[in-house]
Amino acid sequence: MNIIVVGLSHKTATVELREKVAFSPNLIEKPLRDLVALDDIVEGVIVSTCNRVEIYATTRDIAGGIARIKRFLADHHRISLETLEPHLYSHHSEAAIRHVFRVASSLDSMVVGEPQILGQIKTSYGYAAEYKSSGIILNRFLHKAFSVAKRVRTETRIASSAVSVAFAAVELAKKILGDLSDKTVMLIGAGEMCELAAKHFLNSGARGVMVTNRTFERAERLAADFGGEAVPFDELFQHLHRADIVLSSTGAPHCIIGPKDVEEVVKRRRFKPMFFIDIAVPRDIDTKVDDVENAYLFTVDDLQEIVQANLAQRNREAEKAEEIIDQEIGQFYKWLSSLEVTPTIVALRSRFDEIRRAELEKTMAGWKDLPPEAEKRLEALTMAITNKLLHAPTAALKRAGQGGRIDLYVDALRQLFDLQTGHQEDDELELEE
């Protein structure tokens, strides 16, 4: 049995095309059932996120299975295959295993190390398990992918550094001010960046947030979301001295905080340090604020440098993650290959035993006066001969299962002895034993 992957991602398709081939989680049951109803597709999982749509499947016909899944994607979304195919990639066998391990470990993500993709694959697998489109192989395969992703996050620092401007601002504040548990944050603006910053600051232990915005209602909503305090925009400088950290991200066309403003505020704070982060473009805070005693100003460019440095660090950690994946692929591929070996060994021994018993019965039928003790010895003799004959091919099959070229051995034995293998689930139970 082979594992195949067919899909497209942010690396091969525009967001417009990814939108067209996305699967709705609320309507995933029918596509999953249609997928495993395709010829030679035994199991299937559909992963659909904003950055990728991928189908994981098992099949005995690699080329046919990949072609059928490509056609399935085109037909399901009513897109011509000629339009879709240039954006699709496919992998099979060891390359498919490597791809899914890399995706689950976020090595193939737009931002390397981001944590969302693992949860998204787990959710997709949950749907496949619920609607019974996954089976023994994909169950084990995806659980292995989850454990590999966990190992990568545990044994490397791939997700330890900030790669968003908002998170980098928090990391910088912690680096300069230390513990944030006694620090209050003033957010100037109520857009997405301020919302993200509020979340990161509070998650990092900040004492509380104040929010001000030209539209006071928006400040009130954001403050309410995080248990903070809304401040009218025209009262900003009456409250600014209460803030240890000021993050500004407005759409103002000119600076709204100047050095004279900050001098007054620092005096009211009795010269306790203030940390200003200006992520607005055009800038909200005059660069001369950085010259004010005990005021420290960082701009979006400063944060971008931190983000780029952290991305470079993540890329270095990704090399360690690739080594972990190399180790884990070998273990899983060995298990997958053994699924082919075990039923073949069982069928081969069954065929030999069937012949032994038939020939023994014929012999016994013409040997009426044979004593019971002699019958037992004859039975033992034939069994010993059978076992000795099967020992070498059984050992060869097991060795092949651990080192590759297993298809060659398995196909040869099945054709030479006309073997029919048993139920796969029974085979796996025997393998586990």
Whether residue 47 contacts residue 22, with contact meaning beta carbons closer than 8 Å, is answered with no
Q: Among 160, 102, 152, which residue's Cα sits nearest to residue 309?
A: 160
Do residues 46 and 35 lie in contact, with contact meaning Cβ atoms separated by under 8 Å?
A: yes
> Which ranges constitute the DSSP H helices of 27-157?
29-36, 62-76, 81-84, 93-104, 116-130, 136-155
Of 289, 291, 264, the residue nearest 277 (C-alpha): 289
Burial of 279 (0-12, 13-18, 19+ CB in 10 A): buried
Handedness of CA 299, 303, 304, 306 (dihedral sign): positive
Q: What is the Cβ-side half-sphere exposure of residue 222, based on CA atoms within 13 angstroms?
A: 27
What does the DSSP 8-state code read for residue 54?
Answer: E
Which residue's entry shows tokens 């944050």?
Answer: 185
Annotated active-site residue 255? The verdict is no
Q: Which of 37, 50, 281, 374 is catalytic?
A: 50
CB-side neighbour CA atoms (13 Å) of 243: 27
- Alpha-carbon distance of 420 to 348, in angstroms, equals 9
Long-range CB contact pairs, 385-390, < 8 A, 24+: 385/356, 386/352, 386/353, 386/356, 389/352, 390/348, 390/349, 390/352
Q: Which helix (H) or strand (E) holds 221?
A: helix 216-225
Angle (CA) 175-180-182 rounded to 5° is: 140
Residues in CB range of 338: below 8 A, 6 or more apart:
401, 402, 431
Question: Could you list the active site residues?
Answer: 50
